[in-house]
A and B are shown apart, each in its own frame.
Chain A
């Protein structure tokens, strides 16, 4: 995982509540056995006017001109501004893979679904939660100012608007650390290998029925 560094990025607004992971990446693209290449199909059903197929050349497909990511002013956006309960539904990690592959580094919303929240941090995407009134204000500012950018500073847990306003956010320490250092969870967990083995022995002695002879 790449280290998460402070950056200033264009903000794209997706003004819709309960954006589910089916909408982020429709099921036909889940057939891939790779982790990469999902970006061209991010929000496929909103973004294109036809039905997408895996492996298709998307440059030839008709774009939906009304969809926010197709508008020139949001080209190259790295911050997605969204509404409540973003990422609900299926556990597919293809959703953050698609967001990341498209170029998003940050999603800002009033709330996120739990599984999506975990999956995003494991792929280097920072999710920031602000109260509804702050989100409303950001939507209005993005709408009013072409080229609107936010300065995202994870180290100091703050977002700085073009007018210099500082918005502080919460993020748990462990996730922050992993993002800033670009750390792999598995390597960290395996440092506790002895603790896991000790627990396993005790667990097996107490509840042997949870362990089955290998078939």
Chain B
């Protein structure tokens, strides 16, 4: 009998009941809640006169709708100018109060994007099952946790039963072997993976990211990679536990202490795929072949290296792809064979659950230090992922570097990743964005998103167009993997 994959182990540790019809009940250790996908779930509980099964499994924070300007945030909820957004945030507060769920409210220093807050607090631990009504929940898989995004009906189901109805996925391993070049980051790795396997390449699979280049990433980098598993179609992204994982978790507020810590660490060491584990699919990339990536289209798979060019739709073999590419170029205002470095930008967004952690801000600050944002850029903003990330960045003086360079330094939230608050693109504007989705209208009606790493976004802000971060003078070049 062959060994187990990491996913198999996590599944088996949480299997409450396997039903004959192929579905299973999986026990959920942690549910993260935010204001957008929870109100209807709470309403459902209330209507059915049900109570949450286990309060301490839940942790809530508002993130999607919160304003990021310092002045508005100082006013707390009343600083939310959009009345509909205000109701949503207020409803989360009311629901958490009514049911007794712990919440980091809008001006709590621990507030932030759920996928930054969970790990930062140690509320995400190896070996956990983690769910959230948000597709980027895959982020938490970086800790060897089985984490996936769910819909609102499932949020209600987990609240009421502490279980999720699930079907076991297939196992995929994506190996990235070798050493990443200077200036090539976790974001470039995951964009290159999506470019290779496509946005549906991981549908039906749990993807375990492995190989020497993945093992060399920091926890921040690993979270960036797992975060975008869903952009490859996989609800679940995973990375095995190692010293990097355990070192990150020590002394986090929700992490175990004393003897429990020792016992937990011993248990977590098993959260790796066995040597003889069988994967249904294995994909391998060579780290040395990955260059800084830039998306040119309206799907994350429409991506290429910085030295590349926009493809010619007529060169696509498949008619559906041809049509998608033609439509994408039309929407993006680009033409076939245009060089990526010729794409001019209007706005720059550094933030989101993909790239708003301290390491991301450090990488961007290295590039921005002593430089000025190009005059042609209408807005360049840096939005830290949480209040604690913001505080840390300020302690390191990163805020000053950004402000002196001409970036706006904001309060934490999802911000322009999906533009539910006031931060958005205007029609036709090109944005170098460290977020995760370049869909039509995602960052604002008619807005044009280019997905990049924090260093590439900062470099584009200075130049006014895309540049290869590796071509910058040596003292500025990002040393991503050193951070």
Query: Is A189 part of the binding interface, using a Cβ–Cβ cutoff of 8 Å?
Result: yes
Distance between B129 CB and nearest chain A CB, rounded to angstroms: 9
Query: Is A144 part of the binding interface, using a Cβ–Cβ cutoff of 8 Å?
Result: no
**Cβ-defined contact, B150 with A91, below 8 A:** yes
Distance between B329 CB and nearest chain A CB, rounded to angstroms: 15
Binary A-proximity of B264-298 (CB < 8 A = 1, otherwise 0): 10010000000000000000000000000000000
Q: Could you tell me the distance between the alpha carbons of A83 and B199 in the complex, rounded to whole angstroms?
A: 14
Chain B residues contacting A114 (CB-CB under 8 Å) are: 203-204, 233-235
Among B67-104, those with CB < 8 Å from A are 82, 84-85, 87-88, 91, 100, 102
**Cβ-defined contact, B16 with A34, below 8 A:** no
Q: Which of B's residues lie within 8 Å of A, judged by CB?
A: 13-14, 16-17, 19, 21-23, 25, 27, 29, 36-37, 39-40, 43, 48, 50, 53-56, 64-65, 82, 84-85, 87-88, 91, 100, 102, 125, 127-128, 133-135, 137, 149-154, 156-157, 160-163, 165, 167, 199-200, 203-204, 230, 233-235, 254-256, 260-261, 263-264, 267, 299, 320-321, 323-324, 327, 418-420, 437, 439-442, 445-446
Q: Could you tell me the distance between the alpha carbons of A2 and B445 in the complex, rounded to whole angstroms?
A: 35
Query: Assuming the A-B contacts A35-B40, A211-B56, are A45 and B440 also in contact, with contact meaning beta carbons closer than 8 angstroms in the complex?
Result: yes
**Cβ-defined contact, A115 with B161, below 8 A:** no
**Cβ-defined contact, B153 with A185, below 8 A:** yes
Q: Which of A22, A174, A177, A208 contacts B442 (CB 8 A)?
A: A22
**Cβ-defined contact, B441 with A23, below 8 A:** yes
Chain B residues contacting A189 (CB-CB under 8 Å) are: 25, 157, 160-161, 163, 165
Query: Is A158 part of the binding interface, using a Cβ–Cβ cutoff of 8 Å?
Result: no
**Cβ-defined contact, A88 with B233, below 8 A:** yes
**Cβ-defined contact, A210 with B84, below 8 A:** no
Q: Which of B17, B65, B260, B263 contacts A195 (CB 8 A)?
A: B17
Q: Could you tell me the distance between the alpha carbons of A150 and B17 in the complex, rounded to whole angstroms?
A: 38
A-B pairs with lowest CB-CB distance, top 5: A209-B256, A119-B151, A33-B39, A93-B151, A91-B135
Chain B residues contacting A174 (CB-CB under 8 Å) are: 19, 21-23, 165
Query: Is A30 part of the binding interface, using a Cβ–Cβ cutoff of 8 Å?
Result: yes
Q: Could you tell me the distance between the alpha carbons of A208 and B418 in the complex, rounded to whole angstroms?
A: 37
Distance between B281 CB and nearest chain A CB, rounded to angstroms: 15
Q: Which of B135, B157, B420, B440 contacts A30 (CB 8 A)?
A: B420
Query: Is A137 part of the binding interface, using a Cβ–Cβ cutoff of 8 Å?
Result: no
Q: Could you tell me the distance between the alpha carbons of A27 and B169 in the complex, rounded to whole angstroms?
A: 29
Query: Assuming the A-B contacts A91-B133, A115-B135, are A200 and B27 also in contact, with contact meaning beta carbons closer than 8 angstroms in the complex?
Result: yes
Nearest chain B residue, comparing its CB with the CB of A123: B153
Q: Which of A18, A193, A200, A207 contacts B299 (CB 8 A)?
A: A18
Chain B residues contacting A90 (CB-CB under 8 Å) are: 134-135, 418, 437
Q: Which of A's residues lie within 8 Å of B, judged by CB?
A: 15-18, 20, 22-23, 26-28, 30-35, 45, 51, 54-55, 83-85, 88-93, 96, 111, 113-115, 118-119, 122-123, 172-174, 177, 185-186, 189-190, 192-193, 195-196, 199-200, 203, 207-215
Q: Could you tell me the distance between the alpha carbons of A17 and B318 in the complex, rounded to whole angstroms?
A: 12
**Cβ-defined contact, B134 with A208, below 8 A:** no
Distance between A38 CB and nearest chain B CB, rounded to angstroms: 11
Distance between B253 CB and nearest chain A CB, rounded to angstroms: 10
**Cβ-defined contact, A192 with B16, below 8 A:** yes
Chain B residues contacting A210 (CB-CB under 8 Å) are: 29, 125, 127-128
Q: Which of B16, B82, B203, B441 contacts A111 (CB 8 A)?
A: B203
Chain B residues contacting A211 (CB-CB under 8 Å) are: 56
Query: Assuming the A-B contacts A84-B320, A88-B199, A93-B37, are A172 and B167 also in contact, with contact meaning beta carbons closer than 8 angstroms in the complex?
Result: yes
Chain A residues contacting B133 (CB-CB under 8 Å) are: 91, 93
**Cβ-defined contact, A18 with B134, below 8 A:** no
Chain B residues contacting A173 (CB-CB under 8 Å) are: 21-22
Most buried by B among A85, A96, A189: A189
Query: Assuming the A-B contacts A27-B420, A210-B125, are A115 and B88 also in contact, with contact meaning beta carbons closer than 8 angstroms in the complex?
Result: no
Nearest chain A residue, comparing its CB with the CB of B89: A31
Query: Assuming the A-B contacts A91-B37, A185-B153, A199-B27, are A31 and B82 also in contact, with contact meaning beta carbons closer than 8 angstroms in the complex?
Result: yes
Query: Assuming the A-B contacts A55-B84, A88-B200, A91-B37, are A28 and B439 also in contact, with contact meaning beta carbons closer than 8 angstroms in the complex?
Result: no
Chain A residues contacting B17 (CB-CB under 8 Å) are: 192, 195, 199
**Cβ-defined contact, A115 with B440, below 8 A:** no
Nearest chain B residue, comparing its CB with the CB of A50: B445
**Cβ-defined contact, A31 with B16, below 8 A:** no
**Cβ-defined contact, A89 with B37, below 8 A:** no
**Cβ-defined contact, B40 with A209, below 8 A:** no
Distance between B96 CB and nearest chain A CB, rounded to angstroms: 12
Query: Assuming the A-B contacts A91-B133, A186-B50, are A31 and B84 also in contact, with contact meaning beta carbons closer than 8 angstroms in the complex?
Result: yes
Q: Could you tell me the distance between the alpha carbons of A196 and B160 in the complex, rounded to whole angstroms?
A: 12
**Cβ-defined contact, B439 with A83, below 8 A:** no
Q: Could you tell me the distance between the alpha carbons of A208 and B100 in the complex, rounded to whole angstroms?
A: 22
Distance between A173 CB and nearest chain B CB, rounded to angstroms: 4
**Cβ-defined contact, B157 with A85, below 8 A:** no
Nearest chain A residue, comparing its CB with the CB of B29: A210
Q: Could you tell me the distance between the alpha carbons of A45 and B22 in the complex, rounded to whole angstroms?
A: 38
Query: Assuming the A-B contacts A113-B203, A186-B160, are A45 and B151 also in contact, with contact meaning beta carbons closer than 8 angstroms in the complex?
Result: no
Q: Could you tell me the distance between the alpha carbons of A211 and B128 in the complex, rounded to whole angstroms?
A: 10
Chain A residues contacting B441 (CB-CB under 8 Å) are: 22-23, 26, 45
Q: Would you list 27 pairs from A and B whose C-beta atoms are within 8 A, ordered by A residue?
A: A17-B320, A17-B323, A18-B200, A30-B64, A31-B65, A33-B43, A33-B88, A33-B91, A34-B40, A35-B43, A54-B84, A91-B151, A114-B234, A114-B235, A115-B135, A115-B149, A115-B230, A118-B154, A119-B154, A123-B153, A174-B22, A185-B153, A192-B17, A195-B25, A196-B163, A214-B55, A214-B56
Q: Could you tell me the distance between the alpha carbons of A174 and B88 in the complex, rounded to whole angstroms?
A: 34
Query: Assuming the A-B contacts A209-B264, A210-B127, are A113 and B445 also in contact, with contact meaning beta carbons closer than 8 angstroms in the complex?
Result: no
Q: Which of B13, B156, B157, B233 contacts A113 (CB 8 A)?
A: B233
Q: Which of A22, A91, A207 contacts B437 (CB 8 A)?
A: A22
Chain B residues contacting A115 (CB-CB under 8 Å) are: 135, 149-151, 230, 235
**Cβ-defined contact, A196 with B203, below 8 A:** no
Q: Could you tell me the distance between the alpha carbons of A210 and B56 in the complex, rounded to whole angstroms?
A: 10
Distance between A42 CB and nearest chain B CB, rounded to angstroms: 14
